[in-house]
C-alpha cells in the first residue's frame, strides 16, 4: 500500500461546504467511528455494517478500495462537510466496457435531508460522464428504503424495474428497485 507521501487524493469540491476525498487508509479511524455511530440505522438498509467490528476492518476496506479507485474498477469518495466526514459516495463497480457505474452511498443520520447526497450525485455524474468513463449510472435499493428511492427520482434517474427478492438483509429477502440514468 502506498504511504501517505505517495497518496494520490482525488478531490472534488462540490461547493463551499462539501468536498469529496478519495478513499485512503489514513481515514480508517474516522470511517470506523462514523460507521459505529450510525450502525443501527445503516443496517436497516445495508448488510455490510454488521461486519465492521474494528478499525482494522475499516483499514482493510480502505486499502482494497484505494486500489480499485485508482484503477477505475470502482470509485470511493469520503464526503466532508465543513471539513468533517459525514458519509461515503461510491461507484461500487464500474463496468468499463459498458461504461456503467453502480452507485452506493450513505450519510451520517445527522447530515441527512440537507441535499448533501443530491449535490454529490449530480457533481459525480457530470464529472465522470464528461470524462467519458461512465455514461450509464445505476442505483439499486430495497423498495422500503424511501430516502434512497427519492434520491434517485429527484436526480433524474428513471425506475427501470423491480427485482424480486434480490437482496438478503436482516434475515429476509427484499425486493430491490433499479434506477438508471444515461448521460451522453
Could you read off the pLDDT of 149-162 as tens digits, one per residue? Answer: 999 999 999 999 99
Residue 90 region, left (φ>0) first, then alpha (ψ -120 to 50), else beta? beta
Residue 49 has pLDDT above 80, yes or no: no
Question: What are the angstrom distances between the C-alpha of 107 and each of 39, 117, 124, 140?
Answer: 11, 8, 16, 16
Instruction: Report how far apart the first and last C-alpha atoms of the chain are (Å, whole number).
Output: 35
Highest averaged pLDDT of the listed ranges 29-38, 66-75, 97-106: 97-106
Q: Tell me, what's the pLDDT at 148? A: 92
The residue with cell 472534488 is 12
- Please give the Cα distance from 43 to 58 (Å, whole number): 16
Mean pLDDT of 73-86: 94
Q: How many CB atoms lie within 10 A of CB 23?
A: 27
Q: Tell me, what's the pLDDT at 2? A: 43
Q: Where residue 1 falls among pLDDT bands split at 50, 70, 90?
A: very low
Q: Tell me, what's the pLDDT at 7? A: 60
Q: Tell me, what's the pLDDT at 78? A: 96
**50: nearest Cα among 144, 170, 140:** 170
Residue 5 has pLDDT above 50, yes or no: no
Amino acid at each position: 500500500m502506498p504511504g501517505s507521501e505517495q497518496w494520490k487524493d482525488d478531490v472534488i469540491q462540490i461547493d463551499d461546504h462539501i468536498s469529496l476525498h478519495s478513499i485512503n487508509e489514513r481515514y480508517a479511524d474516522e470511517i470506523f467511528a462514523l460507521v459505529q455511530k450510525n450502525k443501527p440505522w445503516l443496517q436497516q438498509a445495508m448488510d455490510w455494517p454488521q461486519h465492521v467490528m474494528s478499525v482494522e476492518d475499516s483499514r482493510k476496506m480502505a486499502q482494497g478500495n484505494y486500489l480499485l479507485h485508482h484503477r477505475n474498477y470502482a470509485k470511493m469518495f469520503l464526503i466532508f462537510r465543513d471539513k468533517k466526514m459525514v458519509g461515503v459516495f461510491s461507484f461500487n463497480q464500474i463496468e468499463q466496457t459498458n461504461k456503467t457505474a453502480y452507485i452506493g452511498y450513505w450519510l451520517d443520520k445527522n447530515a441527512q435531508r440537507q441535499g448533501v447526497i443530491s449535490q454529490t450525485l449530480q457533481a459525480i455524474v457530470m464529472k465522470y460522464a464528461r470524462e467519458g468513463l461512465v455514461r450509464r449510472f445505476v442505483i439499486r435499493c430495497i423498495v422500503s428504503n424511501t430516502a434512497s428511492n427519492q434520491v434517485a427520482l429527484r436526480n433524474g434517474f428513471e425506475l427501470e424495474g423491480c427485482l424480486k427478492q434480490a437482496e438478503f438483509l436482516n434475515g429476509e429477502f427484499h425486493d430491490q428497485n433499479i434506477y438508471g440514468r444515461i448521460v451522453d
